[in-house]
Amino acid sequence: MSSYSFQRYDVSAAGKWQANGSNGSTSKPRSGAAVDINEIFGSQTFSLEMMRERLPKNVHQSLLATIDLGQPIDSAVADVVAIAMKEWAIEHGATHFSHWFQPLTGSTAEKHDSFVTPNRGGGAIYNFSGKDLIQGEPDASSFPSGGLRATFEARGYTAWDPTSPVFLVENPNGATLCIPTAFASWTGEALDHKTPLLRSIEALNTQARRALEIFKIKDVNKVYSTVGAEQEYFLIDQEFFLRRPDLMACGRTLFGAKPPRGQELDDHYFGSIPDRVLAYMTEVEFELYRLGVPVKTRHNEVAPGQYEVAPIFEHGNIAADHQHQLMQTLRNTAGKYGLVCLMHEKPFAGVNGSGKHNNWSMCTDSGINLLEPGDTPHANMLFLFFCTAVIKAVDKHQDLLRVSVASAGNDHRLGANEAPPAILSIFLGDELADIFDRISKDQQTSSGESGLLGLGTPVLPPLPLHSGDRNRTSPFAFTGNKFEFRAVGSDQTISFVNAVLNTIAAEAISEMADQISESIAGGSSLEDALHTAIKETIKEHGRIIFNGDGYSDEWTAEAERRGLLNLRTALDAFETLSSDKNKALFSRFHVLNERELQAREEIALDQYYKTICIEADSTGSIARRIVLPSAIRYLNDVAGALDGIQRQNLAADGLAAVMQDLSDLSNDLRKACDALKSVNFQHEGASVREKAYHMRDKVIPAMTRVREVSDELERIVAAEYWQLPTYQEMLFIK
């Protein structure tokens, strides 16, 4: 905690946090130290354990068949489950229930309904039926639908996802029972991110099981994706936030000169965590444990004021729901400590932005991680098969992975020498790359051991979980037993990203499985068939493998020679979403039909447009109403001083120069504002695509110009005149 103080405005509250918590306002101290983890973990969820305890045996069994095997739920079963859930929730202080879903805005939505139902006698009872649990009917008209929902049929419906535990969200006066649901139009089209994710998990399950049959792997009922998403975020003092209209409206600073000291010294990363921040993190973790979110690691990130939290990986669908709860908890808890949590991809220009590393793998319900290199030839065959399939998938669908992370916010990050470039490539590490290289060239291994495939490929050397040469510049890196997709933005949902990963993997697995089955039918051994399939796939798709420095200019040139896509901005990426290739892919695996895909493209463009609109309006308003008046006030005082000095016949060139600079920059600022205004107009009649491009090509450069002039002014206007909290203050006061 800092004792920093400022003369120019009252920051009495900034940085003033008391160790007893939250400016003294938390009622219950949430200590992580003394809790019985067994008791609190998942205590806010109606967990499997809770179901076993509270449900009749046959109902419990039937529900498990739904959760584990995807069998449809019986309405009688749902009624019994609903009663048990309601009782549990009311015991825990719940007054309302809510179908919790992931609309296409990228965040989550909830509509609360009370458990209270009036009865005939003029009183009321608590009521919650199987029907209330299974299906809801929120008015869908306020959520983006990209044309999927005709205005005359505004209704959408939510459907319970029994595979993700219901949970309680507390408020000071009670709690709400939140039921994870999918959200669809009345005609059955997905209006959310969960539905395609669930469909993609099913596609992966079907194709991967088919492949496992070829390898004669028994006892597998299900294959699913596993996901662990590392979340980066910034914390700043609430006092500063409230004085920054840009942060309040846009989540990022639209103004601000780079501080004299930023992250140059690299002393923040993994540095000791300030007290207030640590207290905050401890409470966040405590709340997440209660929600059953298995958060594991926390540390400082590279930039000052930047931190990271990561859970232990889980089933992809639950991980996605938990990711939303994690973001929500990070946001909600900050206020109690006088902090604000910023999850924008680039809150501060010139300072590292925030991302989300989406760690992804595939796992059988019998516990085999399909991307784990094993120590037997058979295990390695499996690994090589699935790893090759991922290589093929990523190369073939670079565009989809790129589009899954595309947003106005992430445009500030990707390719800006701090995050992976906009070009997709795979880092395998030298050892693994060498193995693939040898297979593709039919080479003997150096050791000459007789190995798998009958062609001299050895049992894979044990690949350390964290190989020493971990490459931070790759957007898609193999890290021991999983792939880590690092281009995801900090503010994005991981649901779509994982729907894409699962679908493209399903396709590649299916195609390779076909190829191998055909060879076997033609008389090949499994080993030879696999060898040929890997060899041919690497020949065709090996160009995506790159182990070098992804930040270098040489890589951009090299990638172009290799024919890899470089979709620089979000808009370039959106254009590819509903290509014929992608329509065919998503419809083949029943993940998104053509209309659903088209709708997503519309919504992406619209969100981009609206984001830049808000930023442009905020830029104009802050420049005119805060920055320019500060400069003029200072200018006026300098002018008065200059006048006095000249009357005394003293040398005045210094002051005159200050005044000249102030006056020039003030004029420039006003001109830049006018230029911004002239391009930032209502685009009556234009399509959403035209509007989005106009924003990117005309409005963003005009905003950038306003900022440049303002940042110059910040460097010369006396501190006490400058109204906006500076980067220095926001990033360094803890």
By CB under 6 A, name the binding residues for ligand ADP.
226-228, 230, 310-313, 359-361, 369, 479, 481-482
Give the shortest CB-477-to-ligand ADP separation in angstroms.
9
Residue nearest to ligand ADP (CB): 228
Give the shortest CB-229-to-Mg ion separation in angstroms.
10
β-pairing, 94-101 vs 174-185, is: parallel
Give the shortest CB-597-to-ligand ADP separation in angstroms.
27
Name which of ligand ADP, Mg ion, none residue 227 binds, using a CB cut-off of 5 to 8 Å depending on partner kind: ligand ADP
Give the shortest CB-357-to-Mg ion separation in angstroms.
4
**Bridge partner list, 126:** 116
Residue 86 in contact with Mg ion, rule: CB under 5 A: no
Residue range at the interface with Mg ion (CB under 5 A); choices 7-15, 43-51, 357-365, 574-582: 357-365
Give the shortest CB-392-to-ligand ADP separation in angstroms.
20
Give the shortest CB-311-to-Mg ion separation in angstroms.
12
User: Which residues touch 354 (CB under 8 Å, ≥6 apart)?
Assistant: 232, 233, 234, 301, 306, 342, 343, 344, 345, 346, 347, 413, 489, 490, 491
Give the shortest CB-308-to-Mg ion separation in angstroms.
9
Name which of Mg ion, ligand ADP, none residue 537 binds, using a CB cut-off of 5 to 8 Å depending on partner kind: none
Give the shortest CB-308-to-ligand ADP separation in angstroms.
8
Chain centroid to Cα 7, Å, comes to 39
Name which of ligand ADP, Mg ion, none residue 360 binds, using a CB cut-off of 5 to 8 Å depending on partner kind: ligand ADP
Tokens of 630: 């500060």
Q: Using the rule CB under 5 A, which residue among 194, 243, 357, 397 binds Mg ion?
A: 357
Residue nearer to Mg ion on the CB measure, 216 or 466: 466
3 state SS of 136: strand
Residue range at the interface with Mg ion (CB under 5 A); choices 235-243, 354-362, 414-422, 707-715: 354-362
What does each C-alpha distance from 396 to 385, 390, 424, 551, 565 come to in angstroms? 16, 10, 11, 22, 10
Residue 245: its H or E element: helix 245-250
User: Closest Cα partner for 410 from 327, 492, 476, 484?
Assistant: 492
Give the shortest CB-472-to-Mg ion separation in angstroms.
9
CA angle 353, 355, 359 (to 5 degrees): 155
| Count of CB atoms situated within 10 Å of the CB of 323 | 24
Name which of Mg ion, ligand ADP, none residue 243 binds, using a CB cut-off of 5 to 8 Å depending on partner kind: none
Name which of Mg ion, ligand ADP, none residue 311 binds, using a CB cut-off of 5 to 8 Å depending on partner kind: ligand ADP
Name which of ligand ADP, Mg ion, none residue 321 binds, using a CB cut-off of 5 to 8 Å depending on partner kind: none
Q: Is the dihedral of CA 123, 126, 129, 133 positive or negative?
A: positive
Residue nearer to ligand ADP on the CB measure, 55 or 319: 319
CA distance 577 to 583: 8
Start-to-end CA distance of the chain, whole Å, equals 5
**Bridge partner list, 324:** none
3 state SS of 98: strand
Name which of ligand ADP, Mg ion, none residue 55 binds, using a CB cut-off of 5 to 8 Å depending on partner kind: none
What does each C-alpha distance from 494 to 201, 285, 357, 611 come to in angstroms? 14, 20, 10, 20
Segment 115-154, which members bind Mg ion (CB under 5 A)?
none
Residue nearer to ligand ADP on the CB measure, 363 or 616: 363
Chain centroid to Cα 642, Å, comes to 54
Asked if residue 146 lies in contact with residue 189, where contact means CB atoms within 8 angstroms, the answer is no
Name which of ligand ADP, Mg ion, none residue 263 binds, using a CB cut-off of 5 to 8 Å depending on partner kind: none
Residue nearer to ligand ADP on the CB measure, 493 or 630: 493
Name which of ligand ADP, Mg ion, none residue 663 binds, using a CB cut-off of 5 to 8 Å depending on partner kind: none
Rounded to the nearest 10°, the torsion over CA 99, 104, 108, 110 is: -30
Which residues are near Mg ion by CB under 5 A? Answer: 357
